[in-house]
Structure 1
Amino acid sequence: MARYDEAHKAQTRRRILDTAGRRLKRSGIDGSGVSALMPDAGLTNGAFYAHFGSKDQLVAITVTDQLTAQEETLRSLLSDDGSLQSFVEEYLSCDHRDHPDQGCPSAALLDEIGRASTEIRGAYTEGIARIIEVVASRADGDESASARSTAIGLIAVLVGTMQLARAVTDEQLSAEILASGIANAGRLLEHAEPNSH
């Protein structure tokens, strides 16, 4: 019986995290209260406190979960002989722009994370640092500091471009912003990625 209870609790927690990830990226941290998150997961507000001590704890764990998933996707792409350029093109796509709930937590939540609690910002810091390391490990350079700088620059271009493309109401301008981001990211990667031309 205890094994079932633990498995059930783990499944419920996973459902809350998956639901919270989508809701937070769609509605933001401030627009995602416990009373909105729990019905999305098909649960009562009371069930929330069996899994999380506070909304900040849920957001911090969700941010960690989302960034870990993004890191795993990036590692998988790169281990399958994918390039950082192909990651850039997928990231700066109209599909990603139009579906923030399925995309990058940075592009969807960065402005709010910057004003959030230390717990949430700490979770974000750890997750983005791992992503920077993955990108830097793929950048070809004699100095690790140079590869790290390229990685940070690339992530900044991607996230900033996506936020700007989502913010404007002119669809043609939005597409132009995405194309410009791809071009700028390409310039960053031009001499940084092995076998790039």
Structure 2
Amino acid sequence: MVRYGKEHKLATRKRIIETAGRRFKRDGIDGSGVATLMKDAGLTNGAFYAHFESKEDLVATAVSEQLRGQREWLTSFESGRAGIEPMVRTYLSPEHRDNPEDGCPSAALLDEICRCADPTKQAYTNSVLAIIDDIAARLAPHDPQSVRAKVLSVYALMIGTLQLSRSLADRRLADEVLEQGIRNALTVLDAASER
């Protein structure tokens, strides 16, 4: 029997989390069984329990990791208010809409996360609030708490806009929904930053 080192185990765990995150966003949590997830990672089903206690444990971990990646993505935009508009436009773009496996876990999974167990909901909440706090600090660097609720509602608006755009059969209407979502989000965020 071959024993692998700690680094190998960590790399394997990371691979499972990354491939699961993409699969969950593409096919949903319920539509992604452990066998499929492990096959995506190039592993056998038996290896799963060496890394996770349950599928729910993997879901919580993958969602947190996906949101951590989204938080890192936010840092790619210019700091302060200057980065907000390109951030909103990129989020509410046809490219993001058309590639859910590469995008926001909230827009892809929110309807399923609300049915997950409390540890997954808590992991999601903690990760989302970190994103919200980062954006609030851009808008109101001296008092981020003053705009936190507005930023959270704009985040919800953007998620809903992206979900609706993904669900519409009429491509032109779907694009119009994205454009209006951009205008709505920027109007609210601009008002928040002027406080």
Given the two structures, how large is their TM-score scaled by the length of structure 1?
0.91
Runs of 5+ consecutive residues of structure 1 not aligned to the other structure? none
Secondary structure class of the residue paired with 1:43: coil
Letter of the 2:181 counterpart:
G
Partner of 2:181: 181
Partner of 1:94: 94
How much does 1:169 deviate? 1.0
Is 1:138 aligned to residue 138 of structure 2? yes
Is 1:47 aligned to residue 47 of structure 2? yes
Partner of 2:164: 164
Q: Measure, in 1, the Cα distance between the counterparts of 2:121 and 2:42.
A: 28
Q: Deviations over 1:123-161 (max 9, x none)?
A: 101100101101111113875443112211220111010
How much does 1:175 deviate? 0.4
CA RMSD of aligned residues (A): 2.1
Partner of 1:75: 75
How much does 1:116 deviate? 0.9
Alignment of 1:17-56 (within 5 A): 17-56=17-56
Given the two structures, how large is their TM-score scaled by the length of structure 2?
0.92
C-alpha contact 2:92 2:162 (8 A) present in aligned 1: yes
C-alpha contact 2:157 2:181 (8 A) present in aligned 1: yes
The count of aligned residue pairs is 193
After superposition, the Cα gap between the structure-2 partners of 1:80 and 1:46, relative to the gap in structure 1 and judged at 3 Å, is: farther
Secondary structure class of the residue paired with 2:50: coil
Partner of 2:57: 57
C-alpha contact 1:139 1:150 (8 A) present in aligned 2: no
C-alpha contact 2:17 2:62 (8 A) present in aligned 1: yes
C-alpha contact 2:92 2:181 (8 A) present in aligned 1: yes
C-alpha contact 1:64 1:124 (8 A) present in aligned 2: yes
How much does 1:173 deviate? 1.0
Identity rate, percent: 49
Is 1:9 aligned to residue 9 of structure 2? yes
Q: Measure, in 2, the Cα distance between the counterparts of 1:137 and 1:80.
A: 8
Partner of 1:111: 111
How much does 1:5 deviate? 1.1
